[in-house]
């Protein structure tokens, strides 16, 4: 169960890729990541960052129309997009259970649509555009770990991402990451700056 969500702001697609790349060192075969958020939220950009950092042999493209792409990398990567599937039955018929291969890292766009089919332990990432219409490139990434191992992995990602984003000096005002208690995370109006664990 997740009680606290980690919220990360990014200000370009490249920054979102850096956050994805920051998660990659802690990913192991069998890991499942569900990405949610509207079209253009940056789900595919995040997967690109993960795949490049895992040494994928070719560039990640959107699987929206093809539903599944597989990449050879440090571990095999399965990249699914279930947007065009209309029922759990269609997802099942696609062979979804077989794609949840314990030898692969599995990333699922629109995963929240098939939440009951996801393994209990997984990382949920919700991506949103900023409410401010002026900042077209701002995104908010909300990390919800499901399962104790994911809490540690998300912490490791945070520290790597902070280091890399600062080193690249891509954007420098305000805290990058905040921890917010659930369930208020879902409206993201009152994130608390994290100093110490409450």
Q: Which residues are at the interface with ligand ADP (CB under 6 A)?
A: 10-13, 15-16, 37, 39-45, 62, 109, 137, 139
- Cα angle value 154/189/13 (rounded, 5°): 50
Please report how close the Cβ of residue 81 comes to Mg ion at its closest, in angstroms: 6
Chosen residue from 4, 17, 43, 79 binding Mg ion by CB under 5 A = 43
Question: From Mg ion, ligand ADP, none, which one binds at residue 139 (CB under 5 to 8 Å depending on kind)?
Answer: ligand ADP
- Closest approach, Cβ 44 to Mg ion, in A, equals 3
User: Closest distance between ligand ADP and the C-beta of residue 182, in Å?
Assistant: 23
Tell me how far CA of residue 142 lies from CA of 9, 65, 72, 108, 111, in angstroms. 9, 26, 28, 15, 14
Mark residues 95-134: x for contact with Mg ion by CB under 5 A, - for none. Answer: --------------x-------------------------
The least CB distance from residue 197 to ligand ADP, in Å, is 28
List Cβ neighbours of 124 (8 Å cut-off, separation of 6 or more): 2, 33, 34, 36, 111, 112, 143, 144, 145, 146
| 76: CB partners within 8 A, 6+ apart | 29, 70, 101, 103, 104, 105
């Amino acid at each position: 169960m997740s009680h606290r969500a980690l919220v990360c702001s990014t200000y370009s697609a490249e920054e979102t890729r850096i956050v994805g790349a920051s998660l990659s060192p802690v990913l192991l075969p069998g890991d499942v990541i569900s990405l949610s958020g509207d079209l253009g939220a940056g789900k595919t950009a995040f997967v690109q960052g993960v795949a490049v950092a895992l040494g994928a042999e070719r560039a990640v493209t959107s699987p929206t129309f093809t539903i599944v792409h597989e990449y050879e990398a440090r571990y095999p990567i399965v990249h699914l997009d279930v947007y065009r599937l209309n029922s759990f039955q269609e997802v099942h018929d696609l062979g979804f259970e077989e794609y949840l291969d314990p030898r692969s890292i599995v990333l699922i766009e629109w995963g929240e649509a098939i939440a009951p089919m996801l393994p209990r332990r997984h990382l949920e990432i919700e991506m949103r555009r900023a409410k401010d219409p002026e900042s077209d490139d701002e995104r908010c990434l909300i990390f919800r770990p499901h399962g104790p191992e994911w809490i540690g992995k998300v912490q490791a990602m945070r520290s790597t991402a902070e280091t890399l984003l600062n080193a690249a000096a891509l954007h420098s005002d305000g805290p990058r990451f905040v921890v917010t208690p659930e369930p208020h995370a879902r409206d993201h109006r009152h994130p608390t700056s994290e100093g110490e664990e409450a």
